Amino acid sequence: MIIVTGATGNLGRRTVDRLLERLPADRVGVSVRDPRKARDLADRGVRVRQGSFDDPASLVHAFEGAEQLLLVSLDRTGEECVSGHRAAIGAAVKAGVGRILYTSQMGAAHDSRFQACRDHAQTEDLLRATGLPWTALRNGFYAASALRFLEPARHTGDIALPADGPVAWTGHDDLAEATAAILTDEGRFEGPTPPLTGPATLDFDAVAEAAAQATGRPFTRTTVPDDAFREQALAHGAPAPIADLMLSIFAAAREGEFSAVDPTLAGLIGREPAGFATLLEQAWAE
């Protein structure tokens, strides 16, 4: 059985859907904080069990019988994130899981300027120490993050953000399909994968051009000093740690931490991944 955590989230849910295209429903299970949100999956024959990263005993039960576990990284940062992952990995060992796949990120490194990448690096260390077979899916930077940064510009026409660098923005759908392919042995990796990225890198100057082409409206790109961006984020209600986290994305991008482009994702899904312009058009058409 393949067990997926975070199966009601953006990536986890898409991955479960792709798995159900490849496997009978009784070969798939999910671990979710609120089973009511996965009722439709239970109706399709998926095993649904409650599991919380803050309750390791619940995870041991949720992971029971897992030949493979897809550990979808938590939407937390710092020690709160790593401790949750530590609890899940420990529960997987106790449950006798055969293999762990973890949704890491391109650029994962202990010296990254982006806190999330440092958290991923620590989690990969925890996986390495288990002695179990494991794979870290070095996912390209989610295009959804760029789209969130673009939301104000959607109305103003001005992309006012800190200085950045090239990023291989990558879509959730393509990553979910690749994850399902790896879980069903269409591709196997030991340890970290190559970067699983979209077909090209774009900085926000190029994103402005893509937005203009998608909408037929002009977009400008204004560079906001880091300190001013942080103050604006705080003024709009962002807690200081979140403002710092957002700012660190741009600092890491300026250093080229997300600039790799690799053909592995295309090989796994059998086609070129969706480019950012396509993802932008899809999101803004909704």
Domain presence at residue 237: no
Supply the CATH number for residue 78's domain. 3.40.50.720
Contact indicator for 222, 207 with CB cutoff of 8 Å: no
pLDDT at residue 44 in the model: 96
Question: 54: Cβ–Cβ under 8 A, 6 or more apart, which residues?
Answer: 84, 87
Domain presence at residue 275: no
pLDDT at residue 187 in the model: 65
pLDDT at residue 188 in the model: 80
Domain presence at residue 52: yes
Number of structural domains (the chain) is 1
Nearest to 193 by CA among 124, 255, 126: 124
- Which helix or strand (DSSP H or E) is residue 252 part of? helix 240-254
Contact indicator for 66, 94 with CB cutoff of 8 Å: no
Instruction: List the domain range (segments joined by +) for residue 125.
Output: 2-139+172-192
Q: What is the pLDDT along the chain (286 residues), one digit of tens a residue?
A: 999 999 999 999 999 999 999 999 999 999 999 999 999 999 999 999 999 999 999 999 999 999 999 999 998 889 999 999 999 999 999 999 999 999 999 999 999 999 999 999 999 999 999 999 999 999 999 999 999 999 999 889 999 999 999 999 999 999 999 999 999 986 689 999 999 999 999 999 999 999 999 889 999 999 999 999 999 999 999 999 999 999 999 999 999 999 999 999 999 999 999 999 999 999 998 6
3-state secondary structure of 135: strand
Q: Which two tokens stand for residue 5?
A: 């955590």
DSSP string, 48-111: EEE-BTTBHHHHHHHTTT-SEEEEPPPS--HHHHHHHHHHHHHHHHHHT-SEEEEEEETT--TT
Domain presence at residue 235: no
Domain presence at residue 155: no
How far apart are the C-alpha atoms of 57 and 66, rounded to whole Å?
15
